[in-house]
Structure 1
Amino acid sequence: MSTIFTKIVNGEIPSHKIAEDENFLAFLDITPLVEGHVLVIPKKEIDYIFDLDDQLLSGLMIFAKKIAPAIQQAIPCKRIGVSVIGLEVPHTHVHLIPLNTMQDINFTRAKMKVTSEELAQTAEKIRKFL
């Protein structure tokens, strides 16, 4: 059965895309920790990040590296934090999170509630810097 991320890749579920190429997709988390929280995934559905072959793993990180500066320019922050947890969805994904404090990357705190319109505005702000 396809994961929610595969359904996003296949266009079965809408998303707020930031960037895409033939192997990877970056899109906004719909329940972000902070504004500008982006998920970066390989299009190929593989559950555990360390099951990716070396080329796909390095490509994922290089793709994420291109997205991070755009987030940082669009969303005022000190850094872009990177987290790989992998328990929420069985499809490899990297969280890129604008950070001003350590609490910005605390996954145990309440997530933001944002509208689709707010997500669309944030996605547009980030895409302007790609």
Structure 2
Amino acid sequence: MPSIFTRIVNGEIPCHKIAETDDFLAFLDVFPCAPGHTLVIPKQEVDYIFDLDEALYTGLMQFSKTVAAAVEKAVPCKRIGVAVVGLEVPHAHVHLIPLNSMADMNFNNKLKMSQEELAEIATKIKKELL
């Protein structure tokens, strides 16, 4: 069965898209640790990040770096935290989380944001990619 991220890639589940290439997709986490929390994924469904081939792995990291720079410009924060956990969804992904304190990286304390709030943040981030 396809992962939830593959279903997002295929357009079966909507997302607040930040950026997309032929190989990668970045979108807002709907249960963020902090406003602007972005997920970056390869479109190819591979469960474990270290099972990605070298080109896909390095491409994912480069794409993540580009997206992180836009998030940092759009969302007030001290820096962008990066996490790869890999247990919650069987599809390799990178978390980009705007940080003002270590507490912002708490995966057990998710924010509840409206679709309108998420859309507004996504628009701000996308403007920084232009």
TM-score for both structures, normalised by structure 1: 0.98
Instruction: Work out whether 1:58 is the aligned partner of 2:58.
Output: yes
Instruction: Work out whether 1:114 is the aligned partner of 2:113.
Output: yes
**Alpha-carbon distance in 2 for matches of 1:24, 1:72:** 19
Matched-pair identity in %:
65
Counterpart for residue 22 of structure 1: 22
Aligned AA (2:62): I
**Alpha-carbon distance in 2 for matches of 1:73, 1:56:** 26
Written as runs of structure 1 = structure 2, the 5 A alignment for 1:86-125 is 86-108=86-108, 110-125=109-124
Deviations 1:37-69, CA, capped at 9 Å, x for gaps: 000000000000000000000000000010011
Q: CA RMSD in A?
A: 0.5
**Alpha-carbon distance in 2 for matches of 1:38, 1:88:** 15
Deviations 1:71-117, CA, capped at 9 Å, x for gaps: 01110111000000001100000000001111111212x21011111
SS of residue paired to 2:89: coil
Deviation at 1:29, TM superposition (A): 0.1
Instruction: Work out whether 1:44 is the aligned partner of 2:44.
Output: yes
Aligned AA (1:126): I
SS of residue paired to 2:46: coil
Provide structure 1 residue ranges, at least 5 long, that are not aligned to the other structure.
Answer: none
Deviations 1:1-56, CA, capped at 9 Å, x for gaps: 00000000000000000000000000000000000000000000000000000000
Aligned AA (2:50): F
Instruction: Work out whether 1:76 is the aligned partner of 2:76.
Output: yes
SS of residue paired to 1:63: helix
SS of residue paired to 1:128: helix
Counterpart for residue 35 of structure 1: 35
The alignment covers a number of residue pairs equal to: 129
